[in-house]
C-alpha cells in the first residue's frame, strides 16, 4: 500500500484549490490530504514574517495522518512556497521567525519518505522572502537529508520577456533568480525550482497555479511526470 500523501498549498492558496489533485491521487491509489489552510491564514506571513503558523498546521496534519494510517512515514508535496516551507519543517535547527521571541524546531525529516516540490522558488532576490529562504539554504542546502528523497518539479511554459503576455513572467523570474529572460512556469523560473542533489524534473507546458488556464503541476500532464516517485 502506498504511503499517505500530505499536500502543503502555495502562498495565498487554500486547501480547496488542491481538491482535484487530491482526487486524482486517490484515484491512482495514493491516500492524500491537503493541509486545511484558508487564504487568510497566509496573511500572517506578509512582510517576511514567521512561517511558523503554517508549519504548525502542517505538523498537526502530518501527525494526524500518521496516527490514522498507522504508518511511520508520509510523502509530502509542497507547491510553490509550500516547498521551501516544507524544508524548514524537515529541519532540526532552531527557527526563529522575523519579529518572534520564541523559536521552533520540528525535526520532521524521519517522518517524510519523499518530498516533492512543485514550482517552488528555492531561491529569491525579493527582500522579504530572502530572510526565510536564506535560513533554509544556509542550514539545509540542496537535497540535505539523505534519508529523504527530494523530487523538484519545474514547469516550462512561458518565456519571460518585456512584452504583452509575458511581462508578469519576466518580472517574477527577475525577482526570483535575477534574470527575466528565461523559461519557467509563469511565476517560478526553472533555475530556481531545482535543488542540487535532488531528482530534478522539467515538465513542458505546465503553468504555476492550480487556477491557471490549461495544464498545471496537478493536471494529468504534470502529475504523470512525478507521481511515480511517491511509490
Judged by DSSP in three states, 48 sits in: coil
Question: Over pLDDT 90: what percentage of the chain?
Answer: 87
Report pLDDT for 124: 94
Contacts (Cβ under 8 Å, ≥6 apart) of 64: none
In a domain, 161, yes or no: no
In a domain, 166, yes or no: no
In a domain, 163, yes or no: no
Instruction: Using the structure block, give the residue that is written with the C-alpha cell 524544508.
Output: 87
Q: What is the pLDDT of residues 115-167, one digit of tens each?
A: 999 999 999 998 888 889 999 999 999 999 999 999 999 999 999 999 988 89
Report pLDDT for 106: 98
> Looking at the 3D structure of the chain, how many domains does it have?
1
> pLDDT below 50 — which residues of the chain?
none
**Structure pTM?**
0.96
Angle separating helix axes 81-90 and 127-139, nearest 10 degrees: 40
Report pLDDT for 165: 80
**CATH value at residue 117:** 3.40.50.1820
In a domain, 162, yes or no: no
Report pLDDT for 55: 97
**Structural domain for 226, as ranges:** 5-155+187-230
Report pLDDT for 127: 83
Amino acid at each position: 500500500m502506498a504511503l499517505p500523501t500530505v499536500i502543503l498549498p502555495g502562498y495565498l492558496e487554500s486547501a480547496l484549490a488542491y481538491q482535484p489533485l487530491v482526487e486524482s491521487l486517490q484515484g491512482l491509489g495514493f491516500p492524500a490530504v491537503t493541509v486545511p489552510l484558508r487564504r487568510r491564514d497566509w496573511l500572517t506571513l506578509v512582510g517576511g514574517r514567521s512561517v511558523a503558523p503554517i508549519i504548525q498546521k502542517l505538523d498537526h496534519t502530518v501527525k494526524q495522518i500518521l496516527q490514522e494510517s498507522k504508518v511511520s512515514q508520509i510523502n509530502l508535496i509542497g507547491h510553490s512556497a509550500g516547498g521551501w516551507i516544507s524544508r524548514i519543517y524537515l529541519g532540526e535547527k532552531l527557527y526563529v521567525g522575523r519579529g518572534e521571541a520564541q523559536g521552533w524546531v520540528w525535526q520532521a525529516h524521519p517522518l517524510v519518505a519523499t518530498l516533492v516540490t512543485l514550482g517552488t522558488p528555492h531561491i529569491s532576490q525579493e527582500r522579504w522572502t530572502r530572510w526565510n529562504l536564506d535560513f533554509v539554504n544556509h542550514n539545509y542546502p540542496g537535497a540535505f537529508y539523505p534519508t529523504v528523497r527530494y523530487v523538484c518539479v519545474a514547469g516550462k511554459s512561458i518565456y519571460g520577456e518585456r512584452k504583452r503576455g509575458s511581462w508578469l513572467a519576466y518580472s517574477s523570474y527577475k525577482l526570483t533568480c535575477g534574470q527575466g529572460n528565461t523559461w519557467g512556469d509563469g511565476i517560478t523560473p526553472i533555475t530556481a525550482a531545482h535543488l542540487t542533489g535532488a531528482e530534478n524534473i522539467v515538465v513542458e507546458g505546465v503553468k504555476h497555479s492550480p487556477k491557471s488556464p490549461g495544464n498545471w503541476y496537478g493536471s494529468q500532464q504534470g502529475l504523470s511526470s512525478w507521481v511515480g516517485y511517491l511509490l
